[in-house]
Structure 1
Amino acid sequence: MAESPDSASVDHELDAPPWRRFESTLMATSRSIRRAYDLRLGEIGLNLSQACLLAYVAEHGPVTQTHVAERIGMGRAPAGAIVDNLSDRSLLVRLPHPGDRRVWLLSATAQGLERAARIAEVDMALRTELREGLSREERHQLAETLVRLQSNLAGVFERHAGPEA
């Protein structure tokens, strides 16, 4: 059987077409993982962003919307839209902040806590599937590599911000 251009061996990653380089593979894998989570979480009426926000509030609440947005790596406006949606569905409530009446605290409702428990079950099951065939050592090595990559990215962002940041 003849090899397709996509499956031909490449002597070096730099000689590979852009769609076969490490970063492209990493980004494609990340998108696939997100799609898998959205698919599974859709069975309980949530997407990954909603599930992350609800799970965080269920575990750490009551917390401010700004705090949640920062902790889960989301902008304040998108987080606000998700909070509105989860609040409309009686999964979260906004409570007045006792020390600052301009600020609202987010807290999970009883229904939100139940849904957070289901999120944890979905997460555990999917992580088990994703890790199939990967040893603990391989997962640790990948995690270490990704942490170094994140550190490199932080440097990119710092250099891009420049001295006026």
Structure 2
Amino acid sequence: MPDVIAADGTVRNDNWVLVARPAEGESLAIPADQPALIPADLWLAGHEHYAGRDDIGVWFDSHDEPELLAGKVDELPLIAVNFPRFVDGRGYSIARLLRERFGYAGELRAVGDVLLDQLQFMKRCGFDSYVLRADKDISKAARCLNFFSQGYQAASDTDQPLFRRRAS
């Protein structure tokens, strides 16, 4: 199991399993003994079966729309957003929409091609846990989460830009 980094820089063992989308004609194989992250649209399709379970979360691919779970996000203990390539920034928008428009207050995790230099920007968009790409040094994560002392613009972590914060 990979390690997961929390927004405060601590590293913990990740017990969640990301379940891949099944191939055409196959059924979803959820492990019985571990918490699992399943594709968001499949969770929604089986909502009556998964409702109330704290061992089932969802994951979004970068092309998925968070509106899919409007009104249901509070039923989920964890939502992960996949970054298929580090140059694909749609996951940042998904995170902000989940936090700001849909009011998701649970754990929001970045997975996939997650690099150290992205961590602080992901944190500002609302992510609070991260699974780094396997070839990255997790011991550097805490420093990368707080590389800049202040952000200029408003984001999920602060609702006012720096010039307004300095004026007050």
TM-score range, shorter chain: under 0.3
More strand by share: 2
Question: Which of structures 1 and 2 has the bigger CA Rg?
Answer: 1
TM-score, with structure 1 as normaliser = 0.24
TM-score, with structure 2 as normaliser = 0.23
